[in-house]
Amino acid sequence: MLSTSSVFSLFLLILLSSSSAKPPSSKQNSFIQCLSYHSEASIPFSSTFFTPNSSAFTTVLNSTAQNLRCLIPSEPKPEFIFTPTDDSQVQNAVICSKQLGIHLRVRSGGHDYEGLSYVSQIETPFIVVDLAKLRSVNVDIQGNNAWIQAGATIGEVYYRIAEKSRTHGFPAGLCTSLGVGGHITGGAYGTMMRKYGLAADNVLDARIVDVKGRILDRKTMGEDLFWAIRGGGGASFGIILWWKIKLVPVPSTVTVFTVSKTLEQGATKLLHRWQQVAATKLDKDLNIRVMIQPTVVDSKSGKRTVTTLYQGQFLGGVKRLLNVMQTGFPELNLTRKDCTQTSWLKSVMYIAGYANGTQPEVLLQGKPTFKSYFKAKSDFVKDPIPETGLEGLWKRLLEETAPLIIWNPYGGVMSKISESALPFPHRNVLFKIQYLTTWQAANENEAKHINWIRKLYNYMAPYVTKSPRQAYVNYRDLDLGINKQKNTSITEASAWGNRYFKGNFYRLIKIKTKVDPHNFFRHEQSIPPLALQARRTRN
């Protein structure tokens, strides 16, 4: 039996030896031929190239796909998946896709809320370039920085930093299986955001593959493009290969806690208070997020209530924390016994939901920590939501099977950074809301859950930012609008663009027009270039 790779070699040989007669060749064969042509070393195709008829295809496709809703059989599937093993193969993948007119999607950690890194709703065929094999993390404690490769998870980054120092950290996402390639392109917040800002605020340099297949760094790409990739959303400007990040100091002792309050225990008043203090009154070493969901109070009758979970991370010891809480938020009644002092890395694992005692090496597995079928949306809030507003929210939550709402406080340095410093414009808000509804089986009524979350979103409109109603690009929501065509108009794209980027949207469009005028890097919500027509009129 011939192995897959020798079949490919044979095929290549035939192609190369018969330059005049053009044999019928499928997209994948042309792609392989093109890659081989451009590569100095030979590529092990049998382990880097997966077509739907190979048994490993679904395993590879599923591997990091976090939202099971995007994997159901009716969702479009890629023609093939290519998993490059070095930077030059990513360059060649861009060159060959462009040359052959193949629509390309790029995946790092696979956590996109709408599966945009491995599903295209708007164009078939398409292929996936999956960067999972490109996951080096090189930490330089002396230099206070690290070069991290796009396919690494943020958990691997945290682990590799902590391995070298207990007093260095990095302010990125809470979920440890996020891929740094997609995550940082959207801004990337975490529990240290009030002290150090977003991950994107702490990027020093990057290496990207542009539409011409060149590798550019900060100097060669220029400050405009370097601005755009730090918050302008994934897959609009090029493929990130590496980020150079700045490490931040963390104390050797960090304190974490979780306190829960049900409606019966006064959750409504307490949450009203939290809105007044969490962003504006509390020390920036302290981050208290609130997770809100229905819980069963009486298993016999199935009666449910709403539980609010206050989960905190404090960059310091318990003694100072209790002082901070006494002054800023005494209503929570936080006590010493609610608190655990630990290392920064363990505090990250605590917040990420790992059971106490889990070995940190679990972070090196690089797999999604939990998978489910879900739909999510986001909002930003500038004025506390009154108690009557909260009561309407409880009513709606109790109508849904497995919803979850998460409130993240802003304030601290977030409000000191200008809205245009990066494409991420949500700087002057009290907090962000994330709404989620999850279900467990493919055959459950998806439409019912999606309808529920859309109605909830309508209900919340009076309480959140307006004109535009802001949304977080890393919480992709195709309900806000999609690019229906490659040549989508700016007006059409503004429906979602203004919400994600506010006044920065137009600068993103101008940069896109300069670096990718023919819109090679595109998806349902990629930044559109100005149409040739419009460009002529404007210039």
Ligand X SMILES: Cc1cc2nc3c(=O)[nH]c(=O)nc-3n(C[C@H](O)[C@H](O)[C@H](O)COP(=O)(O)OP(=O)(O)OC[C@H]3O[C@@H](n4cnc5c(N)ncnc54)[C@H](O)[C@@H]3O)c2cc1C
Residue 369, token pair as written in the block: 């920590």
CA–CA distance, 90 with 153 (Å, rounded to integer): 18
Write each residue from 190 to 229 as x if it is in contact with ligand X (CB under 6 A), else as -, in one continuous string.
Answer: x---------------------------------------
Q: Hey, how many other C-beta atoms are within 10 angstroms of the C-beta on 416?
A: 12
Q: Which of ligand NAG, ligand X, none does 26 bind, CB closer than 5 to 8 A by kind?
A: ligand NAG
Between residues 368 and 384, which has the closer beta carbon with respect to ligand X?
368
CB of 178 to ligand X, least distance (A): 5
Q: Which of ligand NAG, ligand X, none does 186 bind, CB closer than 5 to 8 A by kind?
A: ligand X
Residue 481, token pair as written in the block: 């609008």
- Does an H or E element contain 356, and which? none
Strand ranges inside 392-483, DSSP E: 403-409, 431-439
Between residues 329 and 410, which has the closer beta carbon with respect to ligand NAG?
329
Between residues 33 and 191, which has the closer beta carbon with respect to ligand X?
191
CA–CA distance, 495 with 116 (Å, rounded to integer): 18
Write each residue from 473 to 502 as x if it is in contact with ligand NAG (CB under 6 A), else as -, in one continuous string.
Answer: ------------x-x-x-------------
CB of 447 to ligand NAG, least distance (A): 18
CA–CA distance, 91 with 459 (Å, rounded to integer): 46
Contact 139, 152 (CB under 8 A): no
Q: Which of ligand X, ligand NAG, none does 171 bind, CB closer than 5 to 8 A by kind?
A: none
Residue 132 lies near ligand X (rule: CB under 6 A)? no
Q: Is 195 left (phi over 0), alpha (psi -120 to 50) or beta?
A: alpha
According to CB under 6 A, which one of 93, 206, 221, 239 is a site residue for ligand X? 239
Match 């975490």 to its residue by tokens.
190
Q: Which of residues 64-93 bind ligand NAG (CB under 6 A)?
A: 68, 71
- Does an H or E element contain 298, and which? strand 286-298
Contact 81, 128 (CB under 8 A): yes
Q: Which of ligand NAG, ligand X, none does 422 bind, CB closer than 5 to 8 A by kind?
A: none
Contacts with ligand NAG by CB under 6 A: the residue count is: 24
- Of residues 158, 189, 475, 500, which has the active-site annotation? 475
CA–CA distance, 158 with 160 (Å, rounded to integer): 6
Q: Which of ligand NAG, ligand X, none does 174 bind, CB closer than 5 to 8 A by kind?
A: ligand X
CA–CA distance, 128 with 81 (Å, rounded to integer): 5
Q: Which of residues 38-77 bind ligand X (CB under 6 A)?
A: 66
Residue 297 lies near ligand NAG (rule: CB under 6 A)? no
CB of 287 to ligand X, least distance (A): 11
Amino acid at 477: D
What is the spatial order of strands in the sheet that 203-209 belongs to? 137-140, 145-149, 239-246, 203-209, 215-216
CA–CA distance, 334 with 279 (Å, rounded to integer): 18
Strand ranges inside 299-390, DSSP E: 303-314, 339-342, 373-381
Between residues 157 and 256, which has the closer beta carbon with respect to ligand NAG?
256
CA–CA distance, 479 with 482 (Å, rounded to integer): 8
According to CB under 6 A, which one of 6, 18, 26, 365 is a site residue for ligand NAG? 26
475 flagged as catalytic: yes
Residue 176, token pair as written in the block: 């440890």
**Phi, psi of 344, rounded to the nearest 5 degrees:** -60, -45
According to CB under 6 A, which one of 253, 340, 358, 372 is a site residue for ligand NAG? 340
Q: Which of ligand X, ligand NAG, none does 531 bind, CB closer than 5 to 8 A by kind?
A: ligand NAG
According to CB under 6 A, which one of 50, 82, 189, 380 is a site residue for ligand X? 189
Residue 413, token pair as written in the block: 């340095």
Residue 116 lies near ligand X (rule: CB under 6 A)? yes
CB of 202 to ligand X, least distance (A): 13
Residue 134 lies near ligand X (rule: CB under 6 A)? no
Q: Which of ligand X, ligand NAG, none does 333 bind, CB closer than 5 to 8 A by kind?
A: ligand NAG
Map 437-466 to HEC letters.
EEECCCCCCHHHHHHHHHHHHHHHHHHCCC
CA–CA distance, 21 with 17 (Å, rounded to integer): 9
Residue among 154, 432, 125, 388 nearest 268 (CA): 388
CB of 79 to ligand X, least distance (A): 16
CB under 6 A: which stretch of 72-80, 107-115, 382-390, 449-457 binds ligand X? 107-115
Residue among 51, 49, 33 nearest 96 (CA): 33
Between residues 190 and 312, which has the closer beta carbon with respect to ligand X?
190
CA–CA distance, 358 with 354 (Å, rounded to integer): 6
Between residues 271 and 430, which has the closer beta carbon with respect to ligand NAG?
271
Torsion of CA 438, 440, 442, 445, to 10 degrees: -60
Residue 423 lies near ligand X (rule: CB under 6 A)? no
Write each residue from 511 to 530 as x if it is in contact with ligand X (CB under 6 A), else as -, in one continuous string.
Answer: ------------x-------
Residue 275, token pair as written in the block: 């809105």
Binding site for ligand NAG (CB under 6 A): 4, 26, 29, 51, 53-54, 58-59, 62, 68, 71, 261, 265-266, 270, 331, 333, 340, 350, 356, 485, 487, 489, 531
Residues that bind ligand X in the complex, under the rule CB under 6 A? 66, 105-113, 116-117, 131, 150, 173-175, 178-179, 181-183, 185-186, 188-190, 234-235, 239-240, 474, 523
Residues that are catalytic: 475
